[in-house]
Chains A and B, each alone.
Chain A
Amino acid sequence: MNDRICLTIEGARLIDPERSLDIAPGPASRVHIRDGRIVATGEAPAGFAADSVHHAEGHVLIPGLVDLAARLREPGFEYKATLESEMRAAIAGGVTRLACPPDTDPVLDEPGLVEMLKHRARSIEGAHLHPVGALTLGLKGEKITEMAELVEAGCVGFSQALAPITDTQVLMRAMQYARTFGFRLWLQPQDPHLARGGVAHSGPYASRLGLSGVPVIAETIALHTLLELVRSTGCALHFMRLSSAAGVDLVRRARREGLPISCDVSAHHLHMIDLDIGFFDSNCRVDPPFRSERDRDALRAGLLDGTIDAVCSDHTPVDDDAKLLPFAEAEAGVTGLELLLPLVLKWSQESSVPLAQALRSVTTGPACVLGIDAPSLAAGMPADLCLFDPNEHWTVSRGALVSQGTHTPYLGRSLQGRVRATWIAGKRVWSATAKPG
């Protein structure tokens, strides 16, 4: 019923990162939608009669965001968040498509679990869901999963989340097997031995606070190992959550070599550094840790020159009981879905990156990693859209967030840019008036 409706959105500035278009508000920026798809921009096609017109003066219309890492906490951690709450947080953040890591309880290592999750997600009006399957059973790093079956069930790739594979032979075989079918592995480059016990960036500030450090070499040694395995097996690899300047440099060189790799960074890591921990603020407890200012700047530079493909929310709802603890005992993770767009806008503004280019990191870039068509405002594309007010300042607070996870170092701080409305297949699923901020 609803998707038959003809809708016109007018008055907005259009940005289509995929086609590098930035169209000022006016007749050319009208978007016409029918049957859940964009049918034209600018002039309406012959015979198109809008049932409704959405006026979006002062706002920016972009394709819905694609997020490579959002923990929805189901199954197993419903006390931290539910599929309902986090799918709603996604659309509140303008995210219309997301990948979720397999570290649920039970972990996503069986086709049945993946199907159930997808089924549950379909019953909720929200973003498109792409589960990332477990690479090894129970994420134990010992026995590989039925990858082909899992892909049939809907998995887009295979990951260990934060669990290590300590046995390099298992890792090599997993990569060989994945290569057989052309599957991509998503791995966080972190040597588990060097990272053991670490809770902050190894450096002067962690030393000052007396916190155990995760050294940069935990990332670079893992990268060296994984890159050698890519060279040897030919397996496509996506590096999750780069955190260091040295890591960005290694990936940059490997890409020049033509290896089948990609990588992402979390939105918080584009801004936060180790000093932001301040007096043991457990909202800054993340994995990998926030590193030095120099590392942060290198992540921004890597994003700009295309070494890093995507910015993800690394959304991890954590309950208060797990966060209100001494820093090292607090669970790692921050809420991210609703901060993804504002934090990318902040980077764009601070680094003077044109919006159309900056937004590629949350649309075209992650879509390439998922192996799907890049979202765009071109005629024929699904009308998965995000409309935001680039000038609205809002204060991040428990009341302003839809997610059950409210822990972020931005809590209590002001951010610029807020999602006003989100459409999925032409249907408006979120409107900012739905919840007072």
Chain B
Amino acid sequence: MPVRHPQLNAHGELKHLLTIEGLPRDLIHRILDTAAGFVGVSDREVKKVPLLRGVSVFNLFFENSTRTRTTFEIAANRLSADVVNLNINTSSASKGESLLDTIDNLVAMHADMFVVRHAQSGAPFLIADHVDRTRGNVHVINAGDGRHAHPTQGLLDAYTIRHFKGNFQDLTVAIVGDVLHSRVARSDIHALSTLGVPEIRVIGPATLVPSGIEQMGVRVFHDMNEGMREVDVVIMLRLQNERMRGALLPSAQEYFKHYGLTEDKLARARPDCIVMHPGPMNRGVEIESAVADGPQAVILEQVTFGIAVRMAVMSLLSKS
């Protein structure tokens, strides 16, 4: 059987956006370039372009996320699409309707694009495979699946870095915190390594660094003071409170002391180092307020660029 990447169509065009892994560098740049054209739209008096008029975008959130859902909703609205929001909280498949039954029903309502957030790694692949078999022209965007991928976040992080640093070739980027549970970290690693960042570091305690992560092309540091040395970009990851319940971490206080981003630790980075965070932030857990609100933070810019990047992804997919 011919095996093609499930996010490409028979012509090799991007049909779904499921992961950054395997995306060619020029395609990533094309998405970022397209996003650059959309950044201006939000500054206009009428914040809309008619590119997706008549297109139905279904935000399908099997896991709660007001923030990500809202940014996708705004992106779709600014492209003049019709948006339907669905929050489907299912903790297990045994409760009620199965995942694929839900999809069949929504396809029957003539959805053109699904934006999917799901707690299980790989769920959007299952959905994309299913709609490819049952109806050929539905697009799936992964808005975060389990620990696996959050490709639009990876793209907006790449956009932000390109915006502030100009290039990727000379950079050292550190990703700090709960890498184990982070789909953002994985998508960032794929995006940045494809774009040519020569050194990507992950920093965290051994309980939060997944086994074999080095094979994704990163250097692992357990000592943050060492890992922060001379970095150009630091991406802080959100630490969920529930991580403190088991044996992964003893307390938020001890975590902050060793892996929280403080002005002291930031001082080890290059002076023009930018500080990023996918949000929502836990102040005093992974980042101190002085840094989060400081001159090096570009966290709110990430949010603004995120809308443009999602507009770019939606418009490119609808053309395929």
Contact = CB atoms under 8 A, between A and B. Distances in A.
A282 B130 CA distance: 13
Given A279-B122, A280-B122, A326-B126, A203 B147 contact: no
A208 B5 CA distance: 16
Given A210-B148, A210-B186, A326 B123 contact: yes
A71 B200 CA distance: 47
A279 B121 CA distance: 10
B241 interface: no
Nearest to A199: B121
Interface range for B? 20 to 34
Nearest to B180: A207
A326 B99 contact: yes
A204 interface: yes
Interface residues of A, number: 25
Contact of B148 (A209, A213, A324, A412): A209
Contacts of B145: 210, 326
Interface in A324-373: 324-329
Contacts of B149: 210
A204 B216 contact: yes
B27 to A, nearest CB: 18
Contacts of B105: none
A202 B211 contact: yes
Interface in B105-159: 118, 120-123, 125-126, 130, 145-149
Contacts of A203: 211-212
Contacts of B99: 325-326
Contact of B183 (A210, A280, A321, A413): A210
A280 B18 CA distance: 12
B318 to A, nearest CB: 23
Nearest to B98: A321
B200 to A, nearest CB: 14
B10 interface: no
Nearest to B3: A278
A211 interface: yes
Given A210-B122, A329-B93, 9 more contacts: A203-B212, A205-B212, A206-B212, A207-B216, A210-B186, A278-B3, A321-B98, A325-B98, A326-B93
Interface of B: 1, 3, 5-6, 21, 92-93, 98-100, 118, 120-123, 125-126, 130, 145-149, 183, 186, 210-216
Interface of A: 202-211, 213, 215, 278-280, 282, 321, 324-329, 412-413
24 contacts: A202-B211, A203-B211, A203-B212, A204-B212, A206-B210, A207-B215, A207-B216, A208-B216, A209-B121, A209-B122, A210-B146, A210-B148, A210-B186, A211-B121, A215-B211, A280-B122, A321-B98, A325-B99, A326-B118, A326-B120, A327-B120, A329-B92, A329-B93, A412-B1
Question: Shortest 7 CB-CB distances between A and B: which pairs?
Answer: A204-B212, A280-B122, A210-B147, A210-B148, A326-B120, A207-B210, A204-B215
